[in-house]
């Protein structure tokens, strides 16, 4: 009888452990795809911005384009994802233009955040809000 009781306890523990680990858990957001939205730049003013991003694990990258009344800028993006926060470095195709560092937070399928130029003689800052299409 003791042996039968030990088997029942062992089976119960296995079922309990299986129940704890068999769920799929929350589905992570996938950042890859087309994004578009608005940008407010301290130098260029208001504009529109778009990006095509790819994701591999917590790495993110792709291309971006910003268009303002006086012209535009675009290039490559590389960065990292940390939960709902994305940190991107934007490198313009024009090598004489300043690169930017973006820190954005995701809410639903929208990223909103601030950016600032780095490795640059001038101070350029701004905000952007983009939504996954």
Q: Provide the residue ranges of all domains of the chain, joining segments of one domain with +.
A: 33-132
CA 30 to each of CA 15, 68, 75, 81, 88: distance values in angstroms, whole numbers, following the listed order: 32, 29, 22, 10, 16
33-132 is classed CATH 2.40.50.140: no
pLDDT at 24 over 60: no
User: Which tens digit of pLDDT belongs to each residue from 56-72?
Assistant: 999 999 999 999 999 99
User: Which tens digit of pLDDT belongs to each residue from 85-109?
Assistant: 999 999 999 999 999 999 999 999 9
């Amino acid at each position: 009888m003791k042996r039968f009781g030990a088997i029942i306890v062992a089976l119960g523990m296995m079922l309990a452990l299986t129940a704890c680990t068999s769920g799929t858990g929350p589905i992570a957001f996938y950042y890859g795809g087309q994004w578009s939205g608005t940008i407010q730049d301290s130098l260029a003013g208001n504009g529109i911005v778009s990006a095509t991003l790819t994701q591999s694990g917590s790495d993110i990258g792709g291309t971006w384009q910003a268009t303002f009344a006086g012209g535009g800028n675009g290039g490559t993006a590389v960065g990292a994802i940390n939960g709902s926060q994305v940190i991107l470095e934007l490198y313009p195709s024009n090598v004489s233009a300043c690169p930017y560092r973006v820190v954005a937070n995701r809410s639903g399928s929208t990223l909103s955040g601030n950016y600032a130029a780095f490795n640059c003689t001038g101070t350029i800052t701004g905000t952007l809000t983009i939504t996954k299409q």
